[in-house]
Structure 1
């Protein structure tokens, strides 16, 4: 019924319009906390031209373009047809539904119980989105040889992405890029003071490590341009670089660059991939952590609408409070993102979240069916997707059968708005105008 309801909504639209505990593969746990410093005074954002909308009275549409107009609203005007279709569907879905995803769903399991994804073990369906990471793919130690562990990880990750696409899922990549001096770490707590203070600026055009950064982008481009489904189709991906950049725990964090410097590197990243390396199957996601409570603060490091497709926010901290105030705060922060996405014809998303349940951290009551659900739906919030972080051998963000929260998670995914793989429309086919 969920798929039927979505298709009916899409048909009506066509007729009526003329459209962290951030970690991976046993890396050290990050320090998840909101930075104490107040963000720098933002530059006055340039408001884009927003097409006129003439919805019928009471029409809740969050978008203002027909399928044939979609290409004009994304970063890459030369994007593949499937990439354009994915953006259109994510935007359309966000009007009244949301896709549920999980990081590394095919290879990270609670209790090391491999096989089907943990989400499928519980719900009978894979998630609607698979999260992956370019970290090991771009690692200095990846020499491209069959016996190399990092290259083996590259092969596993790309095969997972192909499997996800073949199933009809969305692929989303983050990037825990190692600092460019030694190539060892991405957490500032594990770096020297010199590395912390200079790493980001060194990858800027003209910087000491700019060529190094170009080489890493070339590796990203090589992988993305060769991601093809079993049918030979180039696979669209969401790319979320420099995530949680408002914190101080990553070397690309706010204390280590000015807003202008951050924007310059972001714009270079997009234009180099798109215009020089001819990568045309990426949607670009802008995703700070949860420190922002106003539009002006959220936009303080925003590189511009022409460089961003998806407006996101990562948020662990507000959920860890286990209180109503944390849920309300998370909802209001996500409303900032949602409102900006509506104004700018972008897709809004809760790009990374979760509560890590283990022996020391019991799950809050009704965490999924009330806390998470209320954050992503109340106050006229509209998002295209929510991404839970991965499960580990000794902790989980998505329950499996027999553990705390299984009934609550089932209640969450059975909400009318929730979309797992089995509920998705054909995301890579554009409907007719």
Structure 2
């Protein structure tokens, strides 16, 4: 009898043990997602398949960095009103230079350059600043406030007649009366970019965002003054002329509307196509104009559209212009940087590679300097783990 009991107990133990082993299964290891973009094939995802090695490395590294970090910078960082000590305003506030330097082709292509020496001086300063930034590992980005083709006095539609506003942009297209004029302006851009070289003769990569904030009506290339097809044609012509006709191969091209869109579809309503865009950008001042949390959430939702699209398209996403301007009559907003802006670029897993603040000048500032009421807020923002400045940049111009 004892023997039978032992056999039964052993059998039950065996069955129990087997059932436990079957029920406690090891947790499967999730598959490791591999990025399809590699140093070897990166140019196939870029606008310029013949881009210089440094330009391709910038695209590759900035795209990867943007998955977890955001570089911050400023327009005219080395040439602003408050720059009295030889340092950028950002360095005076934080001890470190910006990771992005914004410049403009406006004075370089002005009708009075080179007849007016002041414009030549501005051109030389921009070239020198670009070279200085590159030597420090900083990213260079250029906008272009191109003056209208009738009188070349302004880029604002408020300074143009109704006829001029209706005709100007469409006439820079092939066959238009201003097409040769526009090609001459692009010739000057190509000349300058082709001469941007470091001390070893290496071409310096730049980001170029032609016809920015096109969804507004304040510039003569705005949405009310051209059809989507005309805008797309002008953007494509600009890229093809610089890349294919002028053989300029050190440019990344940015698509940069303002913040008017409310959906992914509207964001892409004037999109030139993946073959013409490296960076999906957005300029946004309006959502941050003293609108608190609701404004930050609105900005975050719009950044989410372009961030998700950039991931899908294997591009770079960026907040190409932003800021809140403090003046003698417009006080700073408490926690604007450390709360509202940071939430907009951080929440909902957005991947924003860089943020650029606009320039400081005699009438107001976007980046605080020592002694201003919101400098501590900016310092707190700059110290966040997600935020990257010049001293934290790895070499973006070399492949890992």
Q: Distance in 2 between matches of 1:232 and 1:148?
A: 27
Task: Name the counterpart of 1:232.
Answer: 201
Instruction: Tell me the CA shift for residue 58 of structure 1.
Output: 8.4
Instruction: Tell me the CA shift for residue 109 of structure 1.
Output: 2.9
Q: Could you give the per-residue CA deviations for residues 285-340 of structure 1, whole angstroms, max 9, x where no partner exists?
A: 00000001211101100010000000000000010033211111111011111111
Task: Find the residue that maps to 1:91 and give its secondary structure.
Answer: helix
* Structure 1 vs Structure 2 CA RMSD: 1.4
Task: Find the residue that maps to 1:301 and give its secondary structure.
Answer: coil
Q: Distance in 2 between matches of 1:247 and 1:152?
A: 32
Residue 105 in 1 paired to residue 74 in 2?
no
Q: Is the 8 A contact 1:60 1:95 kept in 2?
A: no
Task: Name the counterpart of 1:380.
Answer: 349
Task: Name the counterpart of 2:51.
Answer: 79
TM-score computed with the length of structure 1 as normaliser: 0.84
Q: Could you give the per-residue CA deviations for residues 77-133 of structure 1, whole angstroms, max 9, x where no partner exists?
A: 0000000000001100110001101000001133x6352100011111110010000
Residue 137 in 1 paired to residue 137 in 2?
no
Q: Distance in 2 between matches of 1:67 and 1:95?
A: 17
Q: Is the 8 A contact 2:296 2:340 kept in 1?
A: yes
TM-score computed with the length of structure 2 as normaliser: 0.91
Q: Distance in 2 between matches of 1:57 and 1:256?
A: 51
**Which sections of structure 1, spanning at least 5 residues, go unmatched?**
1-55
**Which sections of structure 2, spanning at least 5 residues, go unmatched?**
1-28
Q: Distance in 1 between matches of 2:155 and 2:224?
A: 15
Task: Find the residue that maps to 2:349 and give its secondary structure.
Answer: coil
Instruction: Tell me the CA shift for residue 158 of structure 1.
Output: 0.5
The 1:406/1:264 distance shift into structure 2, 3 A limit, reads: same
Q: Could you give the per-residue CA deviations for residues 55-95 of structure 1, whole angstroms, max 9, x where no partner exists?
A: x848688x531221211110000000000000001100110
Q: Is the 8 A contact 2:215 2:222 kept in 1?
A: yes
Q: Is the 8 A contact 2:292 2:340 kept in 1?
A: no
Q: Is the 8 A contact 2:303 2:345 kept in 1?
A: yes
Task: Name the counterpart of 2:235.
Answer: 266
1:411 to 380, 385, 394: 380
Q: Is the 8 A contact 2:172 2:178 kept in 1?
A: yes
Instruction: Tell me the CA shift for residue 207 of structure 1.
Output: 0.4
1:256 to 225, 241, 245: 225
Q: Is the 8 A contact 1:376 1:383 kept in 2?
A: yes
Q: Give the count of matched residue pairs.
A: 372
Q: Map 1:71-220 onto structure 2 (within 5 A).
A: 71-110=43-82, 113-143=84-114, 148-220=117-189
Q: Distance in 2 between matches of 1:370 and 1:104?
A: 25
Instruction: Tell me the CA shift for residue 149 of structure 1.
Output: 1.1
